[in-house]
Amino acid sequence: MSRQRVAVIFGGRSGEHEVSIVSARSVMAALDPARWEPVPIGISRTGEWLSPAETRAALEAGARAFTGLGQPLLRAHDALAALAGCDVAFPLVHGTFGEDGTLQGFLEMAGLPYAGAGVAASAIGMDKALMKAIFREAGIPVARYSVIRSREYTLHQNMSMALIDEAIGYPCFVKPANGGSSVGITKVRSREDLPRAFEAAFAYDTKAVVEEAIRGRELEVSVLGNDQPEASTVGEIVPDREFYDYASKYDPASKTELYIPAPVTEAVAAEVRDLALRMYRVMGCEGYARVDFFLTAGDRVIANEVNTIPGFTSISMYPKLWEASGLPYRELLTRILELAFERHARRPQP
């Protein structure tokens, strides 16, 4: 069998640019060389697309970010030609302009099979306000939350604060509705902390989610599949600080601990895995995703969110959970790409 060319697309304009590069390096190094030929296509911080040659040169030079390289998408002839010559794409652009359905829509229009969730599920997964509304409508337990838009907050600051006082209380978290890796998230202990928290959230989005602070353990499940998804064993994250922020996730000095399998009862593990599959289906996910939960006193499970492009280094939680479930990293990547072809093949053709 001849090798198939995989366009690994990464970098991008979000606050998770560096994380995306780390994920892509790991994926390209781990792809089965007998089956796949990775074609790296980087995207700069300002949205320019790099050719494979430019991307390789930057990676070999040790670049942690792509700046001053490439061309705007519609003029990126070398990058687009390389993409057209690929058999499948593996989007690894975390955050906005990559994980939010925009890149998936581009690949749909190009008719290229791609790994991971489709346009609608990606958009829902990136927008925490939409995601929580859909879960609540489906009867999935979520934390209390409110949505505040930047214009509403600017015009009616006191009213917005009063709403949070009454509906959410303190402590709470203020988050950009669209974002990931805990970028722009602030823990708020009192009304006096809100202006700083909203300033941080609105730096990344015009819509903020204000959510009650749940006192509980953080559990995660990896899900894999299209029409018949499967859930991995359950893992637990114990942050090395008050909450699982960006530094806790990615700082090499972080003392955050991962427990696989999570030390929970069989009943809790079964409930979490079942709920993960339900959330995956409710959102319309395909391919793969990581699903996050809180476990509170009395073993009450509360849904947190679905991450449609989780971190993908060999030590990231998504592949580690599958490795513990009997699916090694290299085989996991092959399965994800096979699922991309499977989904593309059954799409109705005009």
The answer to the question of residue 76 being in a domain is yes
Residues 196 and 315 in one domain: no
Higher-confidence position of 167 and 315: 167
The answer to the question of residue 316 being in a domain is yes
Query: Does the structure show a pLDDT above 70 at 78?
Result: yes
| Phi, psi (degrees; rounded to nearest 5) at 6 | -115, 115
The answer to the question of residue 241 being in a domain is yes
The answer to the question of residue 137 being in a domain is no
Q: State the CATH number of the domain containing residue 163.
A: 3.30.1490.20
Residues 200 and 265 in one domain: no
The count of structural domains within the chain is 3
Q: Say if CB 153 and CB 213 are below 8 A apart.
A: no
Predicted confidence at residue 243, as pLDDT, reads 54
Predicted confidence at residue 125, as pLDDT, reads 95
Query: Does the structure show a pLDDT above 60 at 245?
Result: no
pTM recorded for the entire structure: 0.91
Average pLDDT score over residue span 70-86: 97
The per-residue pLDDT for range 186-211, each reduced to its tens digit, is 999 999 999 999 999 999 889 999 99
CA–CA gap between residue 43 and residue 38 (Å, rounded) = 16
Domain assignment of residue 186, given as a range: 144-212
The answer to the question of residue 138 being in a domain is no
The answer to the question of residue 151 being in a domain is yes
Q: State the CATH number of the domain containing residue 23.
A: 3.40.50.20
Query: Does the structure show a pLDDT above 60 at 247?
Result: no
Q: Say if CB 210 and CB 146 are below 8 A apart.
A: yes
Residues 219 and 103 in one domain: no
The answer to the question of residue 136 being in a domain is no
- pLDDT band at residue 254 under the 50/70/90 scheme: low
- pLDDT band at residue 253 under the 50/70/90 scheme: low
What single letter denotes the amino acid at residue 120? Answer: A
Q: State the CATH number of the domain containing residue 254.
A: 3.30.470.20
Residues 208 and 222 in one domain: no
Predicted confidence at residue 212, as pLDDT, reads 94
- ∠ CA(13), CA(18), CA(24), 5° rounding? 100
Tell the residue number behind the tokens 């509403």, with chain if given.
152
Q: Mean pLDDT in the chain?
A: 92
The answer to the question of residue 175 being in a domain is yes
The per-residue pLDDT for range 93-122, each reduced to its tens digit, is 998 889 999 999 999 999 999 999 999 999
Using omega within 30 degrees of 0 as the cis cutoff, is the peptide bond preceding 348 cis?
Answer: no
Query: Does the structure show a pLDDT above 90 at 252?
Result: no
